[in-house]
Amino acid sequence: ACYPTVSVFLVALTARIAATSGRRPSPAQHLLLAAMSALLVGDVVYMVVDAQLVDLPERLVDVPYALAYLAFSLCVLHPSMRELTVPLRSDEAGPTRGRLVLVAVSLGIPTVVLLSRRAFSPGDREVLALVVGGLTTAAVWRVFRALRAHAEAEARLAHQATHDTLTGLPNRALLAEHLERLLRRTTAPVPPVAVLFLDVDRFKLVNDTGGHNLGDELLVAIARRFSEGIGPGDLVARIGGDEFVLVLASVADEAEALAAAEQVRRGFERPFLIRGAEIYASASVGVAVAGPGSDAETLVRDADTAMYQAKAAGRDGSALFDLSMRHRVAERLGLEQDLRNALAAGELRVAYQPVVQLADRRVLGFEALVRWEHPRVGSVPPSVFVPVAEDTGLIGEIGTWVVEQACLSLAAWQRAVPGAAGLYVGVNLSARQLRDPGLGRMVTDALGRHGLAPSTLCLELTESLLMDDPVSAAEVLRGVRDAGVRLALDDFGTGYSSLAYLRRFPVDEVKIDRSFVESLAGPDSAGESLVTAIVAMAAALGVATVAEGVETAGEARRLAELGVDRGQGYFYCPPVSPERVPEVLTARGPGRCAPSRP
């Protein structure tokens, strides 16, 4: 009685394997299909013989089973057996008409055999036929529903595995698959494929000011606009955060790829309408064009590298990848690894440049400048390693160390030099430090350890740094200022530089950028007008002014005439080691502190 049920199960399993489409069947699949088919034939023959409809020798009845076991053994031993464990694609799981017909016929065979037995009367056969027919119909319908539910579930899972849940765009996995397929299908020596890597500029500001929900809505709007007008074979994907990738399936050359990147970038010039408000955004786009032997991973990586080049050039632009970028990336990775060890190895140093009163050239304080003496390449400029420290998060540890060293040195100078109690030391802040709510405690702890008054430390920050996140910056700076620590606005004049801007942040001094100082060529120069405006603006708020990069006597004299309070630069003294600061403090006049490597 169990043979019909077992036969149905085997038929369903066989049908599942036989219905697999979209890939070439492996030898193991053929062998398994043969084994299941042979078992089915054996069960049917056995039922026919058992129903006394046919009289066959017992050896012949066992032949299908023997063939089934042989085929199954070969299937297990064949190397392609592992392919049977590969999941089917979602389009292979649907309830096809052929599969349902095969299941229905398989269910009907035992019924026909059973009704053919002479032991049943015509009335019994009719009743049995109705019962078995109803059960068969119900079984077929149940199989249909199960297969359809299974297909829909697999389709959902496959879509979730290959698409971004927020925007509905393909994700990194589908991007790689599509790109590899494009690269493999071409017969040309150089595939006509290009990859555009897009990153939304200052996206964090949207999240911080409008919330993450607004940021998500902006990403959806960007995805929708980014997908407009793509050609056949092209693909737009979101690979994480605010990063998108466009694959161009047919480009003639690099110029066409760059033109496409510019078109994408210009698409951001129109505002995005979200929640009834217009939101403006910009993007940096990196371009990589396929070459001989290119692969998907390398193309995406190169486009990503080019995108960072576009960002470094000022954002809202595009850049084409070249091999020199790859070399720079390799150098940067090496520099990053060396920087991680530099602090522990004692390779970082702090040099100090004096800030003087322009009226009498009296030293008022010093600016602490971190230096890195690399054991192989020599002195590494701060403009090179500070951005690396920012990106890797090392700037927090380095910044804390610089504050500690500055306080330690200032305390030593106050003990060693008479009249040095009124000196202060300035330390530059990074963007990461400015976002750290523990900045105030770190600073006050360092001052307390060395017995210094809070007013002897001045934290310096740039205008652009403040405007990256003005709300949280104002909150952090207010806490630091309330503790008595002084604040200075560095590179003033290169950014927003407005009266309202100065009133918003509680600074004690503004440092006039070197570019304005060096332009003081005559009484009618544009630089002189700007310096005059800055001095007037600062004076209205009771804020001191410091001119950076003073290198000539003429610059120093003109700055004093324009009302600038203080100066700093090589005209007075270059940055020196902490051991040489007492010599600077006791010197008289400029030029007495000879330039020396810190």
Whole-angstrom Cα distance, residue 321 to residue 470?
Answer: 34
User: Partners of 278 in the beta sheet?
Assistant: 273
As a whole number of Å, the end-to-end CA separation of the chain is: 96
Closest to 422 in 3D by CA, of 363, 352, 354, 490: 363
Domain boundaries, the chain: 3-161, 172-321, 332-586
Q: Residue 111, class by beta-carbon neighbours within 10 Å (0-12 exposed, 13-18 middle, 19+ buried)?
A: middle
Report the range of poorest mean pLDDT among 107-111, 188-192, 400-404: 107-111
CATH number of 332-586: 3.20.20.450
Residue 231 to residue 596: CA distance in whole angstroms: 62
Q: What angle do CA 551, 556, 557 make, to 5 degrees?
A: 145
Let me know: does 352 contact 575? Beta carbons within 8 Å: yes
Q: What is the pLDDT of residues 253-278, one digit of tens each?
A: 999 999 999 999 999 999 999 988 89
What whole-number percentage of the chain has pLDDT above 90?
42
pTM of the model: 0.61
51/53 Cα distance (integer angstroms): 5
Contact 574, 595 (CB under 8 A): yes
Q: How far apart are CA 236 and CA 244, in angstroms?
A: 7
Helix axes 3-18, 97-115, angle to 10 degrees: 160
Instruction: Please report the DSSP string for 260-326 in residue order.
Output: HHHHHHHTTSSPEEETTEEE---EEEEEEE--TT--HHHHHHHHHHHHHHHHHTTSS-EEE--HHHH
Which 8-state DSSP code applies to residue 23? S
62 pLDDT above the threshold of 70: yes
pLDDT 10s digits, 495-525: 555 555 677 777 899 999 888 888 876 555 6
**One fold for 172-321 and 332-586:** no
Half-sphere exposure of 50 (CA within 13 A, CB side): 14
Task: Note whether 370 and 348 are within 8 A (CB).
Answer: yes
Q: Of 55-59, 115-119, 282-286, 477-481, give the lowest mean pLDDT range.
A: 115-119
User: What is the identity of the amino acid at 272?
Assistant: F
The CA distance from 547 to 222, in Å, is 44
Cα–Cα distance for residue pair 562/536, rounded to 1 Å: 10
Amino acid (one-letter) located at 573: C
- Which pLDDT value is given to residue 427? 96
Report the SS3 class of residue 573: coil
| Topology given in CATH for the domain delimited by 172-321 | Alpha-Beta Plaits (3.30.70)
363-393 pLDDT tens trace:
999 999 999 999 988 999 998 899 889 888 8
3-state SS track over 171-186: CHHHHHHHHHHHHHHC
pLDDT score at 594: 41
